[in-house]
Structure 1
Amino acid sequence: MQVNPVLVEVERSGFVESWHRGSAVGLDAAGSLAVRVGTPDAPIFPRSANKPMQAVAMLRSGLVLEGELLALAAGSHSGEGFHVEGAEKILASAGLSADLLQCPAQWPLEPEVGLDVARNGGDRSRLRMNCSGKHAGMLATCVVAGWPTDSYLAPDHPLQQAVQTVVEELSGEKPVAVGVDGCGAPLFAISATGVARAFRALVLAAPGTPERRVADTMREHPEWTSGTRREERRLMDAVPGLLVKCGAEGVDAFAYADGRAGAVKVDDGSMRARTPVTVALLRALGIDADALDDLATIQLHGGDGTVGAIRPAEGLFV
């Protein structure tokens, strides 16, 4: 197995104490390979970076959803109050209740939100789980299409077959493996390059198509695809026209309005390494903004001050 290069270094007091290896790929506006580091053609589980493609499959199957609720169905929310209310609205639109959700009960993805829930006597719940918007959308899709709701997560369910078709079409790849995501939904293994191609297809699709509707609503409502404080929201706010979606185990994927696109996979699954690499990759593709400076590195604190940073490896995309 090929050893991927170091993507991110963790420097403390002038000493590099840790590092994260991985792969990254960038496509130019014409869809040609512009940046390649490591093994971006090796299969990975994109995890929640699959969600925009899952949302496309829902719309193609008849789901009627617009605006922030569509963004929620395509996102990984933080479990904030408006996210919970949004998932409930999606379910109610199809005459369903939260009892039908088959995602696990969890604390909110945003730690501070979880603390607030606990302080107010709350507990883990399926609605607070970051995938509840997607699951609500899947259930609503089943009602519209006349499909069973009790087996909506089975790989051979018509909805999940529709998802696989979308993944194959947009990525240009046949999945080499089918797994189970953290929320219980089927997960299709494709390469980081395939993920970048899929995101590029979303932003370049004709206006009004399911693909473009998902891309547009995610960019219009980034707080619904992640949360009010999350890095994905900050990236999309910093660069208008940018679509970003993260995935567990160190995955990031993005596409710009003109078709430039990229994907990152951190080998050890570290989520802290994603955003610094993504910012460096954006800049390597010529996509930049002053507001990205705050996301280019993650500051490390010690005592009462800043003592280091999590940063892209020197010369990473040179």
Structure 2
Amino acid sequence: MAKTYEGGEALAEVVRSGFVEGVHRGSVVVLDGSGAPVAGAGDGTAPVFPRSASKPLQTLGMLRAGLALTDPADVAVVSASHAGEEFHLARVAALLRSADLDPAALHCPPDLPFGEAAREAVLRAGGGPSRLAMNCSGKHAGMLLTCLAAGWPLDGYWRPEHPLQQRLTATIEECAGERVAAVGVDGCGAPVSAVSLTGLARAYLRLVTAGPGCDESRVADAMRAYPEVVGGTVADDTRLMRGVPGMLAKIGAEGVFAAALPGVGAVALKIDDGATRARMPVLVSALRRLGVRAPILTEYAEFPLLGGALPVGGVRPVW
């Protein structure tokens, strides 16, 4: 029976007016450029669902299975948790049209855009949820095109037993260096594979250290070249990749974040209560342990708390 993730330890505290009013617990793994652990807290060996932080690895599996994308921005959108901005929707729609498909072929559920500004724009225009606007639509479009390239049926492409999903699970296992402990259903309806945070960090390190021209580097290079496609204009992973040259970064639901920098190392973390406000301060603390310095890290080092519309404290790392 697979080891169960039972939670981590205190990673960040919530300080208001000098008083600690709460704590965010979780786990974090920090690997150096060789893959050796250099720091960490909580449980980095028990399996967790990386959620959308798995997407770059799933994209790698699709490329290996025959997904033919000549535009790196298309590779980026297949790896994306996009904000649903117009340029995201246009790119996913174009991918579908290239295979004579329309958004009805996507299994991801109709949703409003993930990004606040894009969501408000849709509502102001009288629009509503759509499959194209769902933040995983690029991944699902990539899955459909991969099935066509490999000669696999489109029907049930999202099911764990489908040849596509079997191939993607095997790719995740190879990159993480461990067996997938469990397979669940992600928010978009596609499978999500449980691996440890150590395995997730190891996989990201592999993406950024692979040789030029291979599929691993195609994924990493595309995401770093088009960070706004991966997230959105103001997304945390987008801004981190813009602010730290060479950084590969991807958010995941339930407080997950993974990042890697060639020649430096990799980080994978999970905030147990899923709080996004604790995720970036903890990530900054981890990256600083690897010697990473950049103005964007100073900006993310503490999540501000307001009182009467004025700063009165913040969410700060404690490990």
- Alignment counterpart, residue 269 of structure 1, candidates 271, 274, 279: 274
Contact 1:87–1:133 under 8 Å retained in 2: yes
Q: Which AA in structure 2 matches 1:28?
A: D
In structure 2, the residue matched to 1:294 is: 299
Kept in 1: contact 2:7–2:27 (CA 8 A): no
Query: What are the equivalent positions in structure 2 for 1:202-213 lying under 5 Å apart?
Result: 202-213=207-218
Q: 1:64 aligns with which of 48, 65, 68?
A: 68
Match of 1:49 among 41, 53, 76: 53
Partners of 1:186 and 1:291 lie apart in 2 by 33
1:31 aligns with 2:32: no
Task: Tell me the residue number matched to 2:159.
Answer: 154
Runs in 1 of length 4+ with deviation above 2 angstroms? 1-4
Of 5, 11, 35 in structure 1, the residue corresponding to residue 15 of structure 2 is 11
Letter in 1 for 2:19: F
The one of 98, 112, 120 equivalent to 1:93 is 98
Give the alignment partner of residue 107 of structure 1, picking from 95, 103, 112: 112
The separation in 1 between residues aligned to 2:63 and 2:7, in whole angstroms, is 40
Which string of whole-angstrom CA distances, capped at 9 and with x for unpartnered residues, describes residues 262-305 of structure 1? 10011112122111111110001111112311111111112131
- For the residues of structure 1 that align with 2:66 and 2:59, how far apart are their CA atoms? 11
Please point out which of 172, 180, 184 is paired with 1:175: 180
Q: Secondary structure at the match of 1:273?
A: helix
* Structure 1: tracts of 5 or more residues without a match: none
1:83 aligns with 2:88: yes
Distance in 1, matches of 2:264 and 2:314, equals 31
Deviation of the 1:89 alpha carbon: 1.0
Does the 8 A contact of 1:31 with 1:259 survive in 2?
no
RMSD of aligned alpha carbons? 1.1
Q: Distance in 2 between matches of 1:186 and 1:4?
A: 25
Residues 134-183 of structure 1, C-alpha deviations (whole Å, 9 max, x = no match): 00111111111111112100111111011011101000010111100000
TM-score, normalised relative to structure 2: 0.96
Match of 1:230 among 217, 232, 235: 235
The runs of 5 or more residues in structure 2 that have no matched partner are none
Matches of 2:32 and 2:9, distance apart in 1: 22
